Structure 1
């Protein structure tokens, strides 16, 4: 199939990933190409050059309109709108069999566009006002929607999801996150360093549990880092930097437990399954989709409860590492995910044939 992958453009689709959406887009492009599909990645122009790129914007918009300064500003909205409008027009003229839309933008959801090119839209966030109407008005024979967890399906459609909407869990290639049979007794955390990811709470819980902790990830919010996280460094808490996939996998595999501390309605938690693939059981806040992702491979604490998370660390460390690896292999392996993506593409293409015939 000739597939257009339409990405979010806040950050580039390249390693080291800034977050789960960037990782999702990269893994999808790589996996579909490996299966013989002709893939064109519509993303920021500074994304991974190994892919066939058709830039939505010349560079990711965070480089031009920094988040802390321009969040929601009209000039940022106009900049992004212009990029997506032109990209959607190129897709319509490009002879694509299907679009996989990860953009979180309203233009690809327009019925005139999904009717012209069958579309699968993946939603990676909880519902929000700017997109909610367009999402709920968009299902149809040539448009399927997916969310990353049952929790998010209920959030987007509290009265019941339409038949065109379904759960498509995120996934990874287990081979890229090698299993390690024995850890070093320490804890690890990774993700975007921002308040809604809660690394400061992970540090406080690790200190209460008496276990060393290393934090990995991009410092997205420098003010938060400087006031809430950096002062906690030392005495067993350290920052290990922002690493690409292979380097992060090596670091994760050495540890004994992964701390997952969402402080918002986390739609999935890709970092958790990366750690689980390496054999790490998880101590997590019961927030968002954490319970759905971690399952039997971890121990949950009430959201925001540092004392309970410290206790969960001890409980989680007793879970065999093989349990964590097995959960990834049976629920979140990339081949299962790609099979499901291809099935969704087939559904919307069949819907397009029926619509044209009618």
Structure 2
């Protein structure tokens, strides 16, 4: 049973928290309604990459002087204001259509309340069904910025095309954006994290690590073979709960495991950091268009290099020969794994501090918000004309 705490127009008492810091860039502070998925706490206690990004982004935006209201389920875990839609997160409902639709309806009511109180300038939605609320927000004069966390070389591409004129999309990598250039992108902002929250360790233990969801695309089966060929035991950690994940593990991964390998399952935040900090390297043999790959920067910030296949955003995240090795063929991975011991852990961390910090991510989103606001201020007719141009170009170049 799902219960909602959204009742009437009175916000929770702790929503009254406000920020007084002025942004260093001189622009007026923005009031941002951040719509999070309802499946995991923010930040998550274990699995939940999107929720981890939302937590760091919300905190960094607050540090920059903006007013952020996180609309979500479960506990209040950030320095932003929090509007609790459901008392508890519902991880067991992940993948069901019902919670998505109900939650989207309820979050729209929250945004309406915030708008009536003059407490929102822009809506930033991280959910799947939430973008369907964009026309209602547009009628209020609010742009909807949507982070595309999933692959656009899928049915999501048609979904976002249909909603095109109502959404301002942000890609999490340049590769993701390039796969669907006709969509209404307002920017590409790499995921980030707060480096201070992650341990750094120079001395490593003698194991390789696979950390990710158990599906063929993530390549856990390849990771086992590579680690064995390189002469290293492998620790595997990650989500293996849904029927397809269990089937894949039982048929394609478990038969390959040796006596020195270890399957942990989902690691909580503490164990995850310990595993990443101690590993000789993270194996990331993805075999799909990975939009970003959060675990790569989580490893690097701990001083652990990444050995990966060239796919998706991997070349944007890993600097080959500095923070890891990028291979074009699985047969190259064992040698790269053996060579990873020569890479400097301090340089791995520096790559994240310099390129993938929470502050850098927040500044990128502020630019996206302002771009969406500027586009929203243009006459509806001109926005529709741009849509027609994009649609015409797509029809002539891509659909025939």
**Separation of aligned partners in 2, 1:104 and 1:261:** 27
1:49 matched to which residue of 2? 76
Greater shift in the superposed pair: 104-113 or 204-213: 104-113
1:25 matched to which residue of 2? 54
The CA deviation string for residues 183-202 of structure 1, in whole angstroms up to 9 with x for no partner, is 12321221223332222221
- Structure 1 residues 307-318: aligned runs within 5 Å: 307-318=331-342
- 1:80 aligned counterpart, secondary structure: helix
**Separation of aligned partners in 1, 2:113 and 2:153:** 30
Alpha-carbon shift at residue 147 of structure 1 (Å): 0.7
1:82 matched to which residue of 2? 102
Alpha-carbon shift at residue 115 of structure 1 (Å): 4.9
The CA deviation string for residues 105-128 of structure 1, in whole angstroms up to 9 with x for no partner, is 264463442452222211011126
1:173 matched to which residue of 2? 194
Aligned equivalent of 1:15, options 33, 41, 44:
44
**Separation of aligned partners in 2, 1:152 and 1:332:** 17
1:73 matched to which residue of 2? none
RMSD: 2.9
2:158 matched to which residue of 1? 133
**Separation of aligned partners in 2, 1:34 and 1:212:** 42
Is structure 2 residue 286 aligned with structure 1 residue 237?
no
Change (3 A) 1:109 1:169: farther
The CA deviation string for residues 84-115 of structure 1, in whole angstroms up to 9 with x for no partner, is 12322331332222211111326446344245
1:11 touches 1:22 (CA, 8 Å); kept in 2? yes
- 1:192 aligned counterpart, secondary structure: coil
Alpha-carbon shift at residue 301 of structure 1 (Å): 2.3
- 1:312 aligned counterpart, secondary structure: helix
Greater shift in the superposed pair: 147-156 or 183-192: 183-192
- Structure 1 residues 63-142: aligned runs within 5 Å: 63-64=92-93, 67=95, 76-95=96-115, 96-105=120-129, 107-108=131-132, 110-116=134-140, 117-127=142-152, 130-136=155-161, 138=163
Aligned equivalent of 1:338, options 335, 358, 362:
362
Is structure 2 residue 277 aligned with structure 1 residue 253?
yes
Unaligned runs of 5+ in 1: 68-75
Change (3 A) 1:230 1:34: farther
**Separation of aligned partners in 1, 2:99 and 2:280:** 45
Q: Which has the larger Rg? A: 2
**Separation of aligned partners in 2, 1:129 and 1:251:** 33
**Separation of aligned partners in 1, 2:66 and 2:196:** 21
- 1:104 aligned counterpart, secondary structure: coil
Alpha-carbon shift at residue 37 of structure 1 (Å): 4.1
1:209 matched to which residue of 2? 230
Alpha-carbon shift at residue 14 of structure 1 (Å): 4.0
1:70 matched to which residue of 2? none
1:148 touches 1:169 (CA, 8 Å); kept in 2? yes
Alpha-carbon shift at residue 208 of structure 1 (Å): 0.8
The CA deviation string for residues 43-71 of structure 1, in whole angstroms up to 9 with x for no partner, is 3x3x333355545566555514x65xxxx
Change (3 A) 1:78 1:328: same
> Structure 2 length normalisation: TM-score?
0.75
Is structure 2 residue 194 aligned with structure 1 residue 184?
no
Alpha-carbon shift at residue 321 of structure 1 (Å): 1.8
The CA deviation string for residues 110-167 of structure 1, in whole angstroms up to 9 with x for no partner, is 3442452222211011126654334235556x8531111111001122xx565x4321
- 2:318 aligned counterpart, secondary structure: helix
**Separation of aligned partners in 2, 1:91 and 1:79:** 18
The CA deviation string for residues 280-321 of structure 1, in whole angstroms up to 9 with x for no partner, is 111111121112211232212236x2x322122123332222
Is structure 2 residue 296 aligned with structure 1 residue 275?
no
The CA deviation string for residues 223-275 of structure 1, in whole angstroms up to 9 with x for no partner, is 22233333333433112342233432222111221111222211000001010
